A and B are shown apart, each in its own frame.
Chain A
């Protein structure tokens, strides 16, 4: 049973560029959440997708956008990259209607903006 998978694992981009990160949820899960983790900090919630719609959003600018596909996989897009966007981006999946509380995380994508 595959867990949450994210791609790529590492990425280097230049300021002003755009980036797309991908996430495949754990088998059977229907909800995907994205988090940004700066070095030495705890993860911060970006947004959550369920049934292909953005269900909840954290305090992130519109440069951060996302998408969920019919197979429940998800993408995180960041436009006009800033140096401060350098971070580990974590994807978490869960099954919303089950009432269970665990969110399973992927290994993350480490984005470096230069």
Chain B
């Protein structure tokens, strides 16, 4: 079974609109972390936001917020006020267990922002 599922291969949005990128995960470990990364065409993976399994509140980092629904095992990324520079590939990833263990990535969602 896939550990991280991103069901949207591509998303299209206009500038200044909000967009939600979906991510569901599967783990039996009570301690885990969820990450979102952005990968522009240059290839570098850019860390966006982190949510721990025991965190009570949804994580926010500037225009990024994570809609964490633990019972549904979902961790959707919300980008408010999209910008042209947000066009990129977005990956959801999970760490199981203690900090420092390997990241498990989904297949990604391509976001295209138009003017």
Asked if residues B104 and A101 are in contact (CB atoms below 8 Å), the reply is no
Asked if residues A42 and B47 are in contact (CB atoms below 8 Å), the reply is no
Asked if residues B43 and A33 are in contact (CB atoms below 8 Å), the reply is no
Residues on the A chain within 8 Å of B103, using CB: 33, 35, 43, 45, 92, 103
How many residues of B are counted as interface, with CB atoms below 8 angstroms from the partner's CB atoms? 25
Residues on the B chain within 8 Å of A41, using CB: 107-108
What is the chain B residue whose CB lies nearest that of A90?
B45
Alpha-carbon distance between A31 and B91 when the two chains are bound, in angstroms? 22
Asked if residues A101 and B43 are in contact (CB atoms below 8 Å), the reply is no
Partner of B102, one of A58, A90, A96, A101: A58
Q: What 0/1 pattern do residues 86 to 114 of A give for CB contact below 8 A with B?
A: 00101010101001111111111010000
Known interface pairs A92-B45, A101-B50; A42-B106 also in contact (CB < 8 Å): yes
Alpha-carbon distance between A96 and B42 when the two chains are bound, in angstroms? 27
Additional A-B contacts beyond A35-B103, A42-B106 (18; CB < 8 A): A41-B108, A42-B91, A42-B93, A42-B105, A43-B45, A48-B100, A56-B102, A90-B43, A92-B103, A96-B100, A101-B33, A101-B35, A101-B50, A106-B44, A107-B43, A107-B44, A108-B44, A110-B43
Point out residues on B near A: beta carbons under 8 Å: 4, 33, 35, 37, 42-47, 50, 52, 91, 93, 95, 99-108
Provide 13 A-B residue pairs closer than 8 Å at the C-beta atoms, listed in order of the A residue: A41-B107, A42-B4, A42-B107, A43-B103, A44-B105, A58-B102, A94-B100, A100-B99, A101-B33, A101-B52, A102-B47, A103-B103, A105-B47
